[in-house]
A and B are shown apart, each in its own frame.
Chain A
């Protein structure tokens, strides 16, 4: 297999509040032989909020990120669904509308930058499912998670809008399930896996956000999940950090540990719980280890 190498874009959340996602991604990538190149200049993608302010600005700031990767000659890999969605949507729009690309480059030129439109955007989940390959991943598993019932949680921004992302079918996604199976885990099916975690309105309509989080967690739990895995740090914030509030809202004790995708991979390929930073989570992981 050719050496996999990406311009690595962890996203703002994983630089700070969910930094375990960033740290474990680096460990796992290194263990799998995937090379991640830092992007020291990379700015925030806009977190799905920038388009509420100024669409052109949002596109231009994303193009700045693309320009950095273009200079590195690499595609971008992120570990955040929202970053993925925002960048992929910007990428789609720039590709679809040459006038927009030109307008954007006029803005970039003032900052001494240029983007020619060649950078692809992907995320760790897709890299594992496609570029690295499920079979190759399976070969790396030394501690299969065959004792663990895992609920996959995609959330929204890894799946929709499908015309910008175009990897999983949002009605029947498979990549996360394939990864869980390759790691030896038992996939738990439930309707809520492609729905919203509520993160975007945490600070705007907290009741809605927390009720949404609780509904997803309860749905997974009732379908037999012992834990949940998500490719998105924002989803993780709600599912883990807000789980206590969510339990009160839906009036159920849930206690469902939430993994970042790299953590689950790390455990199966032989990295320790400590290395995987599991103690950083608010919902304790203790119950699920034998």
Chain B
């Protein structure tokens, strides 16, 4: 079947004021044909000026991530026909959140720099005798973060990166867990401290795009949650992100549910909460000012507290500093 494949093209070296444009190709799509196969076909038979990266064509080298009908995917493991059936067209664009170099080729420089920032290699104890033995469970704990192929799809989809380009991003965070979660790592504490700073692990907005679009089941969001849990456990709670979580935990333990006013206060601290007052007045006029739930516990709050106690017995609570 002939399917029109639209590709967003861009060559900054062409013309007076180069701008991206759409180009359509009629591709004879055979059963099971992937986006990458279509690109290869266009490249070989029709237009060798088309720029795109490729190598393994089996979803393990991470070269060929592009956006297909708006979402970041590996060209090599995305079939054309289902995309066409779903969207009524096949639109191929370069990844988001990266500068475009040419056509579907993007500049990965920032991606690698973010990786560099997290010291992307193991720092074992200096004394080789102090390296703990790795159990099966230890290996499994970091298995999903080890699946990463650095295709960059998660960073392309990340809603936080779209707004804040300084955000460290899901790929580097997932990679961080690969070391923080490794029993042989000697610098976990240092790593977590760095990640707890601004633009770090707490700036993730939990949009779940990274996990949804990761082609290798790395589940970056899960790794982010693990980093956050471990940071809190290690007592790294002097930042709005950790405070927000802790105040929420306290609220649930006390009431069984959220106490938004208390959470705001505890997360922002006294002075910054004062800054929220004019906003609070506006909310109050509309009857929306959250009031501290001094007496409004849920029924059976004792059950909740027991669950807290039992869960923390198993997994360990927050370390006191």
Instruction: Give the interface of A toward B (CB within 8 A).
Output: 12-13, 15-18, 40-44, 46-57, 60-61, 64, 85, 103, 106-108, 110-113, 156-157, 160-162, 169-172, 191, 195-196, 198, 200-201, 203-205, 207-209, 211-212, 215, 241, 244-245, 279-282
Please name all residues of chain B whose beta carbon is closer than 8 Å to the beta carbon of A211 when the two chains form the complex. Answer: 163-164
Q: A203-B268, A212-B159 are in contact. Are A52 and B225 (CB under 8 A)?
A: yes
Are A12 and B229 in contact (CB-based, < 8 A)?
Answer: no
Please name all residues of chain A whose beta carbon is closer than 8 Å to the beta carbon of B173 when the two chains form the complex. Answer: none
CB distance from A208 to the nearest CB of B (A): 5
Please name all residues of chain B whose beta carbon is closer than 8 Å to the beta carbon of A161 when the two chains form the complex. Answer: 208, 211-212
Question: Which of A15, A64, A160, A241 makes the CB contact (< 8 A) with B307?
Answer: A64
Please name all residues of chain B whose beta carbon is closer than 8 Å to the beta carbon of A200 when the two chains form the complex. Answer: 204-206
Are A43 and B312 in contact (CB-based, < 8 A)?
Answer: no
Are B248 and A41 in contact (CB-based, < 8 A)?
Answer: no
Please name all residues of chain B whose beta carbon is closer than 8 Å to the beta carbon of A169 when the two chains form the complex. Answer: 86
Total contacting residues, chain B, CB less than 8 A: 67
Q: Which of chain A's residues has its CB closest to B226's CB?
A: A55
Q: How distant is the Cα of A108 from the Cα of B251 in the complex, in angstroms?
A: 20
CB distance from A127 to the nearest CB of B (A): 22
Question: Which of B159, B257, B283 makes the CB contact (< 8 A) with A43?
Answer: B257
Q: Which of chain B's residues has its CB closest to A242's CB?
A: B279
Q: How distant is the Cα of A27 from the Cα of B210 in the complex, in angstroms?
A: 38
Q: Which of chain A's residues has its CB closest to B249's CB?
A: A53
Are B257 and A64 in contact (CB-based, < 8 A)?
Answer: no
Known: A41-B303, A47-B258, A201-B203. 6 other contacts (CB 8 A): A12-B257, A44-B251, A49-B245, A57-B312, A205-B160, A212-B159
Q: How distant is the Cα of A53 from the Cα of B250 in the complex, in angstroms?
A: 11
CB distance from A204 to the nearest CB of B (A): 5
Please name all residues of chain B whose beta carbon is closer than 8 Å to the beta carbon of A55 when the two chains form the complex. Answer: 225, 229, 315
Please name all residues of chain A whose beta carbon is closer than 8 Å to the beta carbon of B212 when the two chains form the complex. Answer: 160-162, 170
Are A205 and B164 in contact (CB-based, < 8 A)?
Answer: yes
Are B245 and A103 in contact (CB-based, < 8 A)?
Answer: no
Are A201 and B160 in contact (CB-based, < 8 A)?
Answer: yes
Please name all residues of chain A whose beta carbon is closer than 8 Å to the beta carbon of B225 when the two chains form the complex. Answer: 51-52, 55
Please name all residues of chain B whose beta carbon is closer than 8 Å to the beta carbon of A54 when the two chains form the complex. Answer: 229, 311-312, 315, 317
CB distance from B160 to the nearest CB of A (A): 6
Please name all residues of chain B whose beta carbon is closer than 8 Å to the beta carbon of A53 when the two chains form the complex. Answer: 228-229, 232, 245-246, 249
Q: How distant is the Cα of A64 from the Cα of B307 in the complex, in angstroms?
A: 9
Please name all residues of chain A whose beta carbon is closer than 8 Å to the beta carbon of B178 when the two chains form the complex. Answer: none
Q: A61-B252, A171-B70 are in contact. Are A207 and B311 (CB under 8 A)?
A: no
Question: Which of B298, B312, B314 makes the CB contact (< 8 A) with A40?
Answer: B298
Are A43 and B260 in contact (CB-based, < 8 A)?
Answer: no
Q: A191-B70, A203-B268, A205-B203 are in contact. Are A107 and B307 (CB under 8 A)?
A: yes
Q: Which of chain A's residues has its CB closest to B314's CB?
A: A56
Please name all residues of chain A whose beta carbon is closer than 8 Å to the beta carbon of B302 when the two chains form the complex. Answer: 111
CB distance from B321 to the nearest CB of A (A): 16
Are B298 and A42 in contact (CB-based, < 8 A)?
Answer: yes
Q: How distant is the Cα of A71 from the Cα of B156 in the complex, in angstroms?
A: 44
Are B240 and A156 in contact (CB-based, < 8 A)?
Answer: no
CB distance from B59 to the nearest CB of A (A): 18
